[in-house]
Amino acid sequence: MRSAAVKLAGAGALAAVLAAAVSRRRVVGRLVRHLVVKAAGAPNYTPLPPPKKVKVALCQLHVTADKEQNWQTARRAIQDAASRGAQLVVLPEMWNCPYSNDSFPVYAEELQAPGGALSPSLTVLSEAAAAARVTLVGGSIPERCGGRLYNTCCVFNSRGELLAKHRKVHLFDIDIPGKITFKESLTLSPGPGPTVVDTEAGRLGLGICYDIRFPELAQLYAERGCQVLVYPGAFNMTTGPVHWELLARARAVDNQLFVLTCSPARNPDSSYQAWGHSTAVGPFAEVLATTEAAPDIVLAELDYSQLAERRANMPLRGQKRHDLYRLLEKTAA
Among all residues, which ones are annotated catalytic? 93, 168, 209
Query: If you compute the radius of gyration of the chain from its CA atoms, what whole number of angstroms results?
Result: 24
- Within the chain, how many helices (H) and strands (E) appear? 9, 15
Count of other CB atoms within 10 angstroms of residue 225: 15
Distance of alpha carbon 200 from alpha carbon 227, whole angstroms: 12
Helix, strand, coil shares, percent, the chain, to 5: 35, 25, 40
Strand order in the sheet with 258-262: 196-199, 202-206, 228-232, 258-262, 279-281, 287-289
- State how far the alpha carbon of 248 is from the alpha carbons of 31, 210, 218, 228, 282, in Å: 39, 12, 11, 11, 10
Which helix (H) or strand (E) segment is 277 a member of? none
